[in-house]
């Protein structure tokens, strides 16, 4: 995991066969702006050489806060460091915990949607009834028949949907069953379960992990972990957990200004700081998640325990606040 403090952009230009070629690359450093610039210049030169040798190389990288182009680390403001655990402010203003080796998984609940089968059956019924009614009735009667058909089709769809939903577990129950099935096959694991506004957060307590381990991939797959989160972990070689509320859930409607990608120009820092102050004041009344339970054999690794305590304190997972 790399979360740099300093950033720069390097640019190289040449003329090739009468055309100007410009390649831009970002550079980073934890030491100084000069080192970040040297890194950017070296990456730009390397990209140019690969482009000239026939490689399929993009001429510039997108400026993104997190999960950007391959090879570009997390580009967020560093708020605090706790050993190798780093707290950053993400692109929409929330605080996030970044850890290289303590395993978090996000399991998002998908909103209930009308089953395809219900829609299909209702549509077939609607078409059949309209065709039959239209072919055997006067015009006025056919219109009335079509209206009645629509009503009947809607009722049928709702009944089928209700029956199917009763036959299924709630998203929370289904997710918990997946966790229990995983633990049945891995009795040496200890998992701490949190509720988030959109699902569950699961923290492994018994040991540390590298994001690229097969055990991590198996764990993510078994729990149905959010695929976007999985890609972020692989690209950035870290695990993440949001520590504060999403702004739009707590009445902060305007976006982080002057934009979420760090760093910002010095003259624009007061604008950003004013937004952050407003956001943090509103966020005081909310938690990012709430602790539900701990499952497994109870083994706790010291590093995981330290990250868990920091996470619980900063996310307010154990104080009973509403989650957002």
Give me the DSSP letters along 212-255: T-HHHHHHHHHHT--HHHHHHHHHHTSEEEE-S--GGGTT--SP
Q: Which residues pair with 241 in a beta bridge?
A: 97
CA distances from 168 to 112, 120, 172, 304 (A): 11, 20, 11, 35
pLDDT in tens, 205-252: 999 999 999 999 999 999 999 998 998 898 889 999 999 999 999 999
Question: In percent, how much of the chain has pLDDT > 90?
Answer: 67
CA distances from 180 to 16, 26, 175 (A): 61, 44, 9
pLDDT bucket at 113, cuts 50 / 70 / 90: very low
Torsion of CA 169, 170, 171, 175, to 10 degrees: -50
C-alpha 297 chain-centroid distance:
29
Task: Walk across the sheet containing 190-196 and list its strands.
Answer: 104-108, 199-204, 190-196, 290-296
Residue with more model confidence, 249 or 19: 249
Tally of CB atoms within 10 A around 179: 22
Give the integer Cα–Cα distance in Å for 314 and 141: 66
Give the integer Cα–Cα distance in Å for 208 and 240: 14
| Residues 134 and 146: beta-carbon distance below 8 Å | yes
- Rounded mean pLDDT, 154-172: 63
Q: Where are the beta strands (DSSP E) in the chain?
A: 6-16, 19-29, 77-82, 85-89, 95-99, 104-108, 190-196, 199-204, 239-242, 290-296
Residue 102 carries which DSSP code? S
Give the integer Cα–Cα distance in Å for 93 and 257: 9
The whole-number pLDDT of residue 52 equals: 92
Is the per-residue pLDDT at 67 higher than 60?
Answer: no
pLDDT in tens, 240-286: 999 999 999 999 999 898 877 888 889 999 999 999 999 999 999 99
Is the per-residue pLDDT at 114 higher than 90?
Answer: no
Task: Walk across the sheet containing 239-242 and list its strands.
Answer: 77-82, 85-89, 95-99, 239-242
- Rounded mean pLDDT, 84-111: 93
Q: For strand 85-89 and strand 77-82, is the pairing parallel, antiparallel, or unpaired? A: antiparallel
| Residues 62 and 25: beta-carbon distance below 8 Å | no
């Amino acid at each position: 995991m790399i979360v740099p403090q300093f950033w720069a952009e390097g640019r190289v230009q040449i003329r090739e066969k009468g055309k100007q070629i410009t390649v831009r690359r970002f550079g980073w450093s934890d030491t100084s702006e000069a080192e970040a610039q040297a890194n950017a210049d070296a990456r730009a030169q390397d990209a140019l050489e690969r482009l000239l040798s026939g490689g399929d190389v993009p001429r510039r990288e997108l400026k993104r806060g997190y999960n950007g182009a391959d090879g570009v680390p997390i580009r967020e403001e560093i708020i605090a460091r706790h050993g190798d655990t780093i707290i950053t402010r993400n692109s929409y203003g929330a605080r996030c915990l970044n850890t290289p080796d303590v395993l978090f998984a996000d399991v998002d609940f998908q909103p209930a949607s009308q089953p395809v089968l219900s829609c299909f059956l209702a549509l077939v019924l609607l078409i059949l009834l309209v065709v039959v009614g239209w072919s055997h009735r006067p015009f006025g009667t056919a219109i009335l028949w079509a209206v009645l058909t629509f009503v009947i089709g809607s009722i049928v769809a709702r009944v089928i949907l209700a029956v199917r939903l009763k036959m299924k577990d709630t998203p929370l129950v289904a997710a918990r069953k997946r966790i229990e099935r995983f633990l049945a096959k891995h009795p040496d694991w200890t998992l701490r379960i949190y509720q988030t506004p959109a699902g569950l957060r699961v923290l492994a307590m018994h040991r540390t992990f590298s994001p690229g381990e097969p055990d991590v991939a198996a764990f993510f797959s078994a729990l149905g972990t959010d695929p976007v989160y999985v890609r972020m972990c692989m690209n950035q070689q870290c695990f993440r957990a949001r520590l504060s509320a999403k702004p739009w859930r707590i009445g902060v409607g305007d976006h982080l200004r002057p934009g979420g990608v760090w760093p910002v120009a010095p003259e624009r820092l007061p604008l950003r700081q004013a937004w952050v102050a407003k956001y943090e004041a509103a966020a005081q009344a909310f938690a990012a998640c709430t602790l539900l339970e701990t499952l497994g054999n109870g083994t706790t690794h010291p590093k995981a325990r330290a990250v868990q305590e920091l996470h619980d304190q900063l996310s307010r997972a154990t104080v009973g606040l509403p989650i957002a």
